[in-house]
Every structure is written in C-alpha cells, then in structure tokens.
Chain A
Amino acid sequence: MLTGKGGTGKTRVSAALGLAAGETGHRVLVAEIDAQRSALEEAFGHTLEYKPKQVAPNVWACNITFQPAMVDWLDRTVRASRIVALILNNPMVQVFLDVTPGARELVVLSRVVAYLEEFDQVIVDLPASGHAVNLLKIPDTAHRLMRTGPIHQRAGEIVSVLRGPDTALGIVALPEEMVVNETVELYARLGEILPDLDVPLVFLNRCAAPTMTDDEHKLLARLSGTKELGSEAEELLLAGRWDAELERATADSLGRLHSEIGVSVVPFPRLGVLGGFEGGPLKVTQQMGGALRRRMLAEAKQMDPS
C-alpha cells in the first residue's frame, strides 16, 4: 500500500512499483481505491475500469469502485443469486448501505484482500495521508462494532492481512520541508493506530542529487549578490538558485527521514519536465519502474553476492 501527502506522486510510484514487480515474473495488480477520477489511467496510458485490465507483461490495473465491489461482496457472502438480486433491488437497502458508516470503505478493502487470491502481489494506491489513516482504521472498528455475521468475520480477515507479515505500507514524499513534516507525522500516526503494520520505506520523489561544488555555490552567491544585473542575468541566476535549493532540500530531507523515522529511503531523480512529461506519462512511469528494478537487483546481489 502506498500513501503520502497529496501531490507527491503516489499514483505514479504505485504504477512504477507495479511495473518493477511485474518484471520479477510475479502476477501483479495495481489498484486504485474508489477513485472518482482515475489517476492511474494516466500513469499507465490505459483506460481503466473495475475489472482488472492488463497494462504490461504480468501487470494488471483497476479502479475498485464501490457499486460493483458491493455486488461482488454480496455474491461472495450470500452466494444465492436470487437473494443478492433481492437485496440489490431493494431501494431501502441501497440507502442503508450508502449511509451505514464505513460500509463503503469495508466493501472496497474487502475486494483488495480478495485479489490476493488471484494475484501474487497487489499494490494499492491509497488516498492521501490523513484519509488513508481513517480508511485503515475502519476494518478494526467494524470488527469490534459488528460482533457476529459475515461483516464481523470479513473485517477480522482484513485486519489480519493488514497486520500480517506479507503486507507493507510505503510513504511517498517530496524533498520539501512541509512534506517531510507530514511524512514524519504520518509515520507516528500509523504506529499508533496500526502498530503491527510494517512501514519499511519512504519513496522520495523528484530528488536532485547534490552535484554542485562548494566553489560553485560561492560563485553563484557572489553573482546573485551583484547589484543592477540585467533581467536576463537575473533569470539565469534564478534558475541556478532553484536547482541549488533543490539539491540542498534533497540532502536535508534525506537526512531528516533517516534521523527522525529511520526507515530506508528510495530516492527518485526528477524526470523530464514537471507537468509536461517528455515522451508521455507512460514513459515516466517506465523510467521510474526501471530505476526501482535496478535497485531491487542491486539489493538482491548485495544480499547474495554469488
């Protein structure tokens, strides 16, 4: 599962992780949760729907929306199709399910867990931080609130999966102070509500590795301090300062994530032009997926040098 502050690129990291996982030969599903507007479509360059659609070798993607997930859920739970039809056609039940707090979220999460039977790995693009926390609390609450019946049981199963050794959550962040603040807060919050959930990684998106020398910094500062520069010179120096600032912010963020959370950080370099992706959005996803795959191979090699 991936979450993080809005705008950090969780969806694209989810998609890239899907591509990298697919290359290992596993059957992988990348799923969005109840998205009113699918963001995964753009990352994969495919239109998506409820039913998983193959987007790359070994990789499928889907948007798990509530209505069809509800039908699936009833099919699994009640089994008799006549009764399912009876429930679904009853307008009162529709309203009841619509408004019963948590029902929507539980049905969607249940579908995610069900996909673990069909796929080797499921990658979930969760909503942004605060809302992901609320979503992940729901199965436990429902498990305690509904004390018997299939929902009680299903909620219990979802809780076990969330707490289990095969589940992990990654946080996507950017090298910006506020985003790092929120990442640190989110990590602490997750530790409070789901202490057994493994949170091993932070993906730091759009990094600039520090390549400027101290002398370059000095010269840039001297040039910037010059009075009455022309507007062209000002603009060049502005561009330089922005990049220098990004290098500094990247180093700061990496340092803070290591010292304040202590998890591994996977940095992604900036690719193409923000907003206008060179070679199209799918190309960016593929480049990021490639970087992840190379890292996975390097780590595997480190663990087993033979």
Chain B
Amino acid sequence: MSLNSLLEDRRLIICVGSGGVGKTTTAAAIGLQAAKQGKKVMVLTIDPARRLANSLGLSQFGNEETRIALDEEVSGELWAMMLDTRSTFDSLIGRVSPDAATRERILSNRVYRHVSDSFGGSQEYMATEQLYDIVTSSQYDLVVLDTPPVKNALDFLESPGRLVQFLDKRILGWFLAPYEEKWGVGRLFRGTSAMVFKLLGYIFGREFLDELAEFLFIFRDLYDGFRERHEAVIRLFSSGSTTFTVVCAPNEPSVAVAQYFLNELAKRKMPCSGVIVNQMHPVLGEHLDPNLILNDLAQSMCSDLDPNTMTQLIARLGANHRRLLGLSQAEQAFSDTIASRLMENQSMWQVPRLEGEVHDIDALGRVFEQARHVAGR
C-alpha cells in the first residue's frame, strides 16, 4: 500500500514527531502529492522556526496564505502559511466580544497583551484556533499540519483545555469573588479562601492580580463560547476525516519519541494512521569489496590523476561503505522496533534518505514517490 492511502478521505493530517526528522518536509511532501491528485491543499506550520519555507524552496513566507507555484500539469493547488499567534488572538477577541467597547478594553488590558504574545502555551492554543477556522472554512480539500518538536507538541493537544480551564466558572468565581464583593456584586469572601487569596496577592503582587481580575472579569461570560469551541476542536481531531501521522528517523532518541507519541495518541483516543520512518540509508545489506568491484573501471579513468588517487579512493569507498552498512543495519533494527509496536489498522512507511537536501518542489515529489509501505495494514 502506498502512502496515497494516507490521503484517502482525509481533510486534516497532523504530522507529529521529534525535531530534525524531516517532519516539515514530510508535511510538505504529503501536501504536494494531494495537490497532484487535484486537491486544493494548505500546509500549515506552528513551529516558530521557518523550515517549511525552506522545504518549499521559498526564502520565507508569513502568516498570509501563500500559493506555491507548481508545474502547469498539476491540477490542484498547494498553499502554505505560518500560524501567527498575536493576530489570531486579536481576531478571536473580536469574534467573541459582545461589543466594540468590550473588545477595546480587552485589547488594551496589559495582562491580555502579555498573554497573547509572550507567554508559553498561548501559541499552541492559538494555533488550534486558527487550524479549526481553516479546516472548517471548507476553502481547502485537505489541510496538512506540521507541529513543533516533542516537548511542546503535547501542549498543542492539551492547550484548548488549558485556556478553557482558566475560564471555568468555579475557578473564575473563586478568583473573582473578592473583586465582585468590592464592586458590590458578590458574596462575602472569608476563611481559607481569603487567606490563600491574600497569599497570592503577596506572591504575585496585588497590581497583577487586579489586572488579571479585570482580564478575567471581561472574559467570564465567554466561557461557554470557549468550551463549545474546544469541544468542536476535539471533535474535529478525533473525527474520521482527521489522522495523526508520527514521523521519525531511524535512531534511538527519535524512535523513543515516536513510541511515546503512539502511546499518547492511543491514550487520548486520537486517530493515528501509523509511522513514517524517514532518512533510511538504502543498502544491499552485505559487505562489498571495492577492489574487486571498481578496480578495473577506476584504472581506466585515472591516467591524468595523481598516481595515489585510485588506491586512496578505493580504500575510502571501502571504509565509507562499511560505515553505511553498519548504519543501515542499526536503522533497520530501529525500524523493526517501531513496526512491532504498531496497533491494528496502523501502517509503517520507510522513506529513503535522498542525496542532497530537499529544498525544491521536485525533490519534495521524490520524497513521496520513494515512500515504501513496510509493515501493518
């Protein structure tokens, strides 16, 4: 089964995995293949770094939808975009605010400004917001998402929960109680809660708590809206038209991370179609003697070269090949480890390491064509 089966009936493909394994390149290659099948495709990256542009042969692109030029015979369209935290957050506020005055108050609140552009976690949350909008807008037949490396990829899965949790009425109620009292709308606040609140004021500084309270006070009526949206995002992620694909390289740390992702996705009941093992060194798997194989040919080619050249190169090729062989055996063992952990209905594909780097559309096309189904369904 080719990698094409991954594309069937999908509207959202999410690539996860550790850094440096070709996740971005894989996402771009999947997008290109779908475009070749006539689909209109968007490839999105959450990563603050700009690797996707590199893979697509562009010097850079931003948070605007950018169309990638393809050969004329390609009937589909390939688009790319980097998610932008700040402007997404602002437009979200615009959408959920009841009126212009509320909107302005939120946008000028200092806590909001810092939350929206510099604190950890908000980036991933906003990415899911924007992702949801793009997928549900039906502008694209397929959206391919490239996620950040491991330590933050799980924030991305959990993040809708984090912000919604913040806006949970019980917590808001607890936190805002002393303010509502002050503003004449709340009940009396006493006992342990009052003590703990005082401590928080001491630790974080009263000014911060005051501003945070104002921020939350404005947000408190938005909880239901956020919760509904969070549920919609989770529904989108777990639906049949979405699939997660784990991307890894055949080395120990990357395989461990891939295993971790397979487990986590299963635990969260997220659909996962399997693992793409990138950067495999393709070899015949046996020891080769360059003297026997290349001597005669080389002899005929080096009359104008330094007399030691042939001996040096032949010895070098022998060493290079021994290295390659050892490497490919280790890689196959890592690949087998992953294959043995696949669950029912999951597949594994291997993609050979290409000569040279992948940073144009043609090379990207070859990545997909060379993917081989090696295990699973």
Contact = CB atoms under 8 A, between A and B. Distances in A.
Nearest to A220: B313
Interface in A172-198: 174, 176-179, 181-182, 185-186
Contacts of B225: none
Interface stretch (A112-120, A240-248, A287-295): A240-248
A178 B123 CA distance: 23
Question: What class of interface size applies to chain A in its complex with B?
Answer: 35 or more
Contact of B203 (A151, A240, A245): A151
A232 B293 contact: yes
B218 interface: no
A242 B111 CA distance: 52
B234 to A, nearest CB: 18
Interface string A222-235: 11001001111101
Contacts of B359: 177-178
Contacts of A129: 48-49
B151 A35 contact: yes
Contacts of B148: 128, 130-131
A141 B112 CA distance: 12
A77 B357 CA distance: 51
B252 A128 contact: no
Interface in B14-28: 18-21
A223 B286 CA distance: 21
B18 A242 contact: no
B88 interface: no
B331 A219 contact: no
Interface in A142-169: 145-152
Contacts of B301: 219, 222-223
Contacts, number: 250
Interface residues of B, number: 93
B330 A276 contact: yes
Interface centre among B162, B195, B211, B327 (most CB of A within 10 A): B327
Interface string A26-51: 00000000111101001000000000
Interface in A81-120: 83, 86-87, 90, 92-93, 95-96, 98-102, 104-105
A241 B196 contact: no
Given A77-B203, A181-B54, A232-B288, A273 B293 contact: no
A36 B256 CA distance: 12
Contact of B50 (A35, A141, A185): A185
B242 interface: no
Contacts of B329: 276
B119 A37 contact: no
A122 to B, nearest CB: 20
B247 to A, nearest CB: 11
Contacts of B313: 216, 219-220, 240
A34 B252 CA distance: 21
A101 B115 contact: yes
Given A233-B297, A236-B321, A96 B200 contact: yes
A224 B327 CA distance: 22
B4 interface: no
Given A127-B152, A131-B48, 4 more contacts: A83-B199, A95-B171, A141-B119, A149-B202
7 closest Cβ pairs, A-B complex = A6-B19, A7-B20, A130-B48, A276-B330, A275-B251, A101-B119, A149-B205
17 contacts: A7-B249, A36-B151, A86-B199, A92-B196, A98-B162, A98-B165, A100-B212, A101-B121, A134-B48, A147-B208, A149-B204, A149-B206, A185-B50, A213-B309, A232-B288, A240-B321, A243-B323
